[in-house]
Amino acid sequence: MKEIPILAYHKISPQFEFGLTVISPKSFEKQMEFLQQKGYVGCSLRDYLQDPQQNKFAITFDDAYENIYQYALPILNKLGFTASIFVIVNFIGKYNSWDVNLFGIKFKHATQSQLQKLCDSNWEICSHSLSHKALINLTNEQIVNEIKNSKIDLDKMFNVKIDSFGFPFGYYNRSIIKILKEHGYKNGVSSTNNFKNEIPIYGRMGVYKFVDWKRSVYFKINKKHPLNFFETLKGKIIHSVSYLTVLYQKILGKS
């Protein structure tokens, strides 16, 4: 099994945030247009795995924010691209109170109706757990609940098969992967590849504010480009900061 080109986004919005996960719609559009000009076609992880082609790359959105429906969908529709969206089931239509939210800046998650419209546009619906708690901080019973019931709920809501699971904050262990397989998932996604377990875990390249632009996104999906190594290293450094939120949850008793 080999690496596949997967981009990971969180928020596409003109709203200000102190973190790095908000990309302006204008910047996102430039990135996607540049990749199309380079001959690439953006698609969901499901569609990529069903028909892998050299000019394809997968687009994923974590947390399923409303701004993805508002801003990313029209841009991708215009280009003929699709994507995978990882849904936090218990926060559908609600604000992201699970996050740190510096200075009270909050973002709303997409409603079920908005997610259905994404699904109708050939986007893939995936699980991002029930509550976005760091699974590595939970008991085995709680982990099963997050993995099993998020899949059941999404299956019922959208009448689709849920194949992919996005680990909250990207953290997991071997026992968590085993639980995924036991409950019918075909793969997981994180920040690094891991193909030596019961099911494959695909690594993704995050895209962030200030440190990414249209060419860096091209370097991320072009595995043969010399600067791909730099983008991989940059992603690992930025991802390591996410553990602060994991600690925040633990201190406040949110996990």
12: left (phi over 0), alpha (psi -120 to 50) or beta: beta
Q: What domains are defined for the chain?
A: 6-251 (3.20.20.370)
Q: Is the pLDDT of residue 209 over 70?
A: yes
How does the average pLDDT of the chain come out, rounded? Answer: 94
- Nearest CA to 93 out of 112, 80, 75 is that of 112
Q: What is the pLDDT of residue 250?
A: 63
Report yes or no: 23 and 68 within 8 Å, Cβ to Cβ.
Answer: no
Pairing of strands 56-63, 84-87: parallel
Q: Is the pLDDT of residue 57 over 80?
A: yes
Q: Is the pLDDT of residue 245 over 80?
A: no
Q: What are phi and psi of 9, to 5 degrees?
A: -115, 165
**Please, which pLDDT band fits residue 244 given cuts at 50, 70 and 90?**
low
pLDDT tens digits, residue range 9-39? 999 999 999 889 999 999 999 999 999 999 9
Q: What is the pTM of this model?
A: 0.95
CA distance 40 to 7: 13
pLDDT tens digits, residue range 61-118? 999 999 999 999 999 999 999 999 999 999 999 999 998 887 889 999 999 999 999 9
Q: What is the pLDDT of residue 123?
A: 98
Hey, which residues does 108 pair with through a beta bridge? 95
Q: Is the pLDDT of residue 241 over 90?
A: no
Pairing of strands 205-206, 201-203: unpaired
CA distance 151 to 232: 30
Burial class (CB in 10 A: 0-12, 13-18, 19+), 105: middle
